[in-house]
Amino acid sequence: MLIRLSNWIEFTLVFLVLILVFLYDLMSETLGFLDEFIGLMAFGVLFFYAFIKGRLIFYRKEYYILILLSFIIFLGLASNAYSHIIGHKTNPIAIFADLVNFSKAFVAYFAIRLLSNHFNSNIALEKLSRYTKIIFFILIFIILLDVIFNIYPKAPRYGFNSLELFFKHGSRYAFSFSFIFLVLLPKHYPKKIGFLILILLVGMLSLRVKYFGFVILSLIFIFYGRNLIRIPRAYFIYILLGIAILLFFLFREKIQTFFVFENMEDAWSRAVVTYYSFIIAFDFFPFGTGFGTFSSFYSGFYYSWVYDLYGISNVYGIKRAYWNFVADQYWPMVLGQFGYLGLLAMILVIYNYLTIFLINVKANINNKRYYLFLSSILGLLMLLIDSTSDSIFSQQRAVAMFIYFALVMNTINKQNENFTNK
């Protein structure tokens, strides 16, 4: 019975991840709420272990992350309550749905960590690697057909036509190849480094600036990663910041379009949302405006009072009749909805994840599992790069990545690790 349960959990996790990464856009009409459903199930697992079993067993820094996320959720709900008191009402459904949307990736991570004793994460990762490799070759075949017969729409970029296949956007195409690279990195490096570079090159056909940044980071880390990992953590963080600044200058003309506008009539929604997130965080200090109110999907779906209050409801992409670009970024949503305290807490969440992965990379620097944890670091950096112009941490792609992160963390030998039992 235990073996059957283990096999079922392993199959389900691998199946869900593959759907979220490769089939979600193709079947969005039927699978559009799959990631939210996973989030709700994950909340159920977390509550069961916390209140029925009465204990949560995590690493100390994971416990810090859980506290920080709980603090952000508290800030969001407190912000909704405060806004309601001063006369700004948010649809309760928008509040609940946005809370789930914001939390789903992180809660999925903790749920899989809690369930780690009921299945074999090494087997799940092996299956994920095997099926991902098959999918890569299937995608190569589809790309060849697309190039020959022009099956899918293409967008002109830099004088070429970018590929997106059956994905809704070129950035989602790029993400799929980033994911393939990350999952296959631990299995095929260094024996098949040419194959890994081929994966990166195929992803570059998306012609997305963010993906170019990910490729540069990946090449730096697969060739010079061990030298970087050996340096003290503080210096490692400084180097990452230095690389980020370098990438900013390389692609600054494209990046600046996300933050600069001259007038509302010609303004791009991303620049407007970014600009007003700082104003909102100041006006509603220290809380923000709360869940479902600003730069999130449900703030557009249940059109938020914030856009009318600040007179930006006529901006293209933020209009009541066409709000499709409202949730086009992540950090303005964090700042606007949860204020400066929420932004700081979210930065600390990411920092603690990075620290966890870095500690395990250092601990395994002389064995094959080094590449497993290196893929987690690169995966987190990839999400950070994407989050500059995409709300990726609250999308299905983040759910898939954090499930992968949890599977990687589950492979650690618990007998040799320091746990915090709370």
Q: What is the pLDDT of residues 190-207, one digit of tens each?
A: 888 999 999 999 999 999
Q: Identify the domain containing residue 354 by its residue range.
A: 2-25+33-125+247-257+330-421
**pLDDT at position 231:** 81
* Residue 233 resides in a domain: no
* Residue 178 resides in a domain: no
* Residue 361 resides in a domain: yes
Question: 272: which 2 tokens?
Answer: 């407007």
State which residues of the chain have pLDDT below 50: 1-2, 415-422
Q: Structurally, how many domains does the chain consist of?
A: 1
Neighbours of 243 (CB within 10 A): 17
Chain centroid to Cα 332, Å, comes to 15
* Residue 217 resides in a domain: no
Residue in this structure with the two tokens 């099926």, named with its chain if needed? 131
* Residue 380 resides in a domain: yes
Share of the chain above pLDDT 90, in %: 64
* Residue 235 resides in a domain: no
* Residue 406 resides in a domain: yes
**Mode of pairing for the β-strands spanning 160-162 and 155-157:** antiparallel
Sign of CA dihedral 99, 103, 105, 111: negative
Question: 369: which 2 tokens?
Answer: 């599992």
* Residue 21 resides in a domain: yes
